[in-house]
Amino acid sequence: MKMLMIVCPKARQDEVTQLIERHGVHAYSEIPEIIGAGKTGKKLGTHTFPDKSSLVFTVVSEEKELELVAALKHCATTLYPDEGMKAFVLPIESVI
């Protein structure tokens, strides 16, 4: 099992969750507003840095992880240069 943690522009959150669902994954969690800084700059929700990001995460099989990563890479190519999206893959040792 693998956990995908996807940091995406808040404006693209629905697009990301729809992508996940189109690939047959219907169990995921969302944190709709996160702030931070990265390669595309600061997303702090302030007057100076007004954007925010969202975090979407899901746990899937290793086969589904490869499928979703490929789809997310393609999705990232459609973003504007200052939007940015990252997906992190973490191993899941057990599910309780």
pLDDT tens-digit readout, 29-79 = 999 999 999 888 888 989 998 889 999 999 999 999 999 999 999 999 898
Task: Locate 59 and state its tokens.
Answer: 């746990």
pTM of the predicted model as reported, rounded to 2 decimal places:
0.87
Other Cβ atoms closer than 10 A to 91: 8
